[in-house]
Structure 1
Amino acid sequence: MPIRKLLPGQTCQIWTVGATGTDPVKRFETSQHLLEAPNWLSSGDALVLNGDGLLWRLSLSGAPRLDEIVITGVPDLNNDHVLDPDGAHIYLSAYDRQLYRAPVHGGAAELVTAEPSPGGIFHFLHGVHPRGDRLAFIGLSEAPGGERTPGDVYTMSANGGDYRRLTSGPGASDGCEYSPDGEWIYFNTEMFGGHAQIARIRSDGSGLERLTFDDHVNWFPHISPDGRWATYLAYPPGTQGHPGNVWVDLKVVALEDWASATTVVRLFGGQGTLNTPSWAPDSSAFAYASYPLESAECDSAE
């Protein structure tokens, strides 16, 4: 899969928004890099993003500044990266479909996943248990002809091994993330009837529960650290997968009242906008990326 690049006439914008959709701030804009999937550092003063197969740090204090975080020992990185609760490390997904752990300020990465993995599955990281001892990821495999199987929710030890499969279709699942207490895994899934909806399942694989019931194609739920709010992306009805360069709604919902979801912003983006956890450590705000085109007027929050 090629590394994503900006289209001619396209820019990348990085925004932060208050927990209930208030006080949007455009933190950074570039026509040089397609930056994706902001994670908020535990220090609260910077975001971590991927772009061009690399990892980047965007300062939120003072003048905006984008610096590469130099990680060695990994192939090109994709947009599935999640911070270790220890605040000093980050877990990374790469284009070799393996998972790595590296110092969040740069340094040598170590391979986490088993080689070969059970069943030869590919790994797409989305969550780390708040204790830091388990990872939640989407696993899928590829047939000899190149066709991929639908993704399912797995967990594994943060030290490698002890793979546990929590879902088995029907349809694909994605975006699996632990709740702040570690009791639940929130994710999007097609198992309820053909298009992605938000659901949760207990971390032991029991208690599957559907949370959204609408015609939109809903992806990537992210839970605030205080357990009060969630964000997710709502694609137009009929959307296949989670493409980029489409109009999407970014929604905020009270965690105990999923029927109350409201659209915070309609933006041009999708893939890369909100793939991984992007809440501030104090739950006061969240971050996202948009990708406006000159030919597509973007009302992204301005």
Structure 2
Amino acid sequence: MPGTPDFARRGRGLQPGQVSELTIADLDGKTMVIFVADEVIEAPNWTPDGEALIFNAGGELWRIAADGAGDPTRIDFGHLRDLNNDHVLSPDGRTIYVSSDDGHLYALPVDGGTPRRVSNTHPHPHHYYLHGISPDGTTLSYVAIEDRGAGRRINMFTIPAAGGADTRLSDVTYPNDGPEYSPDGAWIYFNSERAATQPGQAQCFRMRPDGTGIEQLTSDTRVNWFPHVSPDGASVVYLSFPEGTLGHPPDKDVILRFMRPDGTGQRDIVRFFGGQGTINVNSWAPDSRRFAYVAYPVRQP
């Protein structure tokens, strides 16, 4: 059995015989499992210095050496314990920005410390889910689940990393998710149902940072989520669910796929059992040749 640290038991659990496999892959589909847990772990970030991966488990963040050496260690953020799987690192690697189940965004020292709230209080429901940070570290991109009296909507926004006013990038009725800056700051990549002919049929898009110039990058019968651009700007990896999937659920036969930043050159990299938690955040290595993800295989007794 895998050895698992003292992860908190919050959120979803695993099926009988199921494990979480923290995996590193290259663009040719060669994979290496560096850590196995018998609890749910999710959403690895690779630190900018290339030395470690940061993932969430049980509402907390943990750090492990990128080669899998040693045990994961919990990052102590004091009272802040109910984090979800949306977190990003500042370009200098000194700050981690997180989404909390209280609906807000926080900034924290990457090695632990006192949280600073970034997000605002709104007169209507506005639940923040973080996904990106601009290359200069000054602006965060996120989606909000909001209800302004016209029903539940999921739209895209930005907010200064230091705190300040929210800027709306979309105001539509169909769902959007995963807005993430390109390394040159020229684009925000995201997934959306803006071209869907049936509920759940998300595809990958990009837009200018002010919400204009939207371009569709994928257009197929599968459900495509979370496009992540490599640090050198040359490659995109995204998560592809089976046709007919609603949202981004766990426990699906999924594919991590490659494309160039303009959407050309699409091809499969690796197939496995996964979904929610697999690659919710950008997990590219600084060398732009490898990326991390979590698979959730169910092992036979």
TM-score by length of 2: 0.91
CA deviation string 1:117-162 (max 9, x = no partner): 3643110000001111110000112589xx9723111111112222
Q: Which amino acid aligns with 1:222?
A: H
RMSD: 1.9
CA distance in 1, matches of 2:28, 2:119: 37
Q: Which amino acid aligns with 2:247?
A: G
Partner of 2:18: 10
CA distance in 2, matches of 1:251, 1:117: 37
- Where does the alignment leave 5 or more consecutive residues of structure 1 unmatched? 297-302
Q: Does 1:273 align with 2:278?
A: yes
2:236 to 213, 230, 243: 230
Q: Does 1:81 align with 2:87?
A: yes
1:103 Cα deviation (Å)?
0.9
Change in CA separation of 1:75 and 1:188 when aligned onto 2, cut-off 3 Å: same
Q: Which amino acid aligns with 2:205?
A: A
Q: Which amino acid aligns with 1:233?
A: L
Change in CA separation of 1:204 and 1:14 when aligned onto 2, cut-off 3 Å: same
Percentage of pairs with the same residue: 42
2:187 to 175, 184, 195: 184
CA distance in 2, matches of 1:282, 1:118: 44
1:3 Cα deviation (Å)?
1.2
Partner of 1:299: none
Q: Does 1:67 align with 2:73?
A: yes
CA distance in 2, matches of 1:233, 1:227: 18
Q: Which amino acid aligns with 2:156?
A: V
Q: Does 1:104 align with 2:110?
A: yes
Which one is further off, 58-67 or 40-49? 58-67
CA distance in 1, matches of 2:177, 2:270: 23
2:31 to 24, 48, 54: 24
Q: Does 1:286 align with 2:291?
A: yes
Aligned length: 289
Which one is further off, 155-164 or 78-87? 155-164
SS at match of 1:200: strand
Q: Is the 8 A contact 2:188 2:207 kept in 1?
A: yes
SS at match of 2:152: coil
Change in CA separation of 1:141 and 1:295 when aligned onto 2, cut-off 3 Å: farther
Which one is further off, 152-161 or 45-54? 152-161
Off by >4 Å, runs of 4+ in structure 1: none
1:64 Cα deviation (Å)?
4.1
TM-score by length of 1: 0.91
Q: Is the 8 A contact 2:124 2:148 kept in 1?
A: no
Partner of 2:96: 90
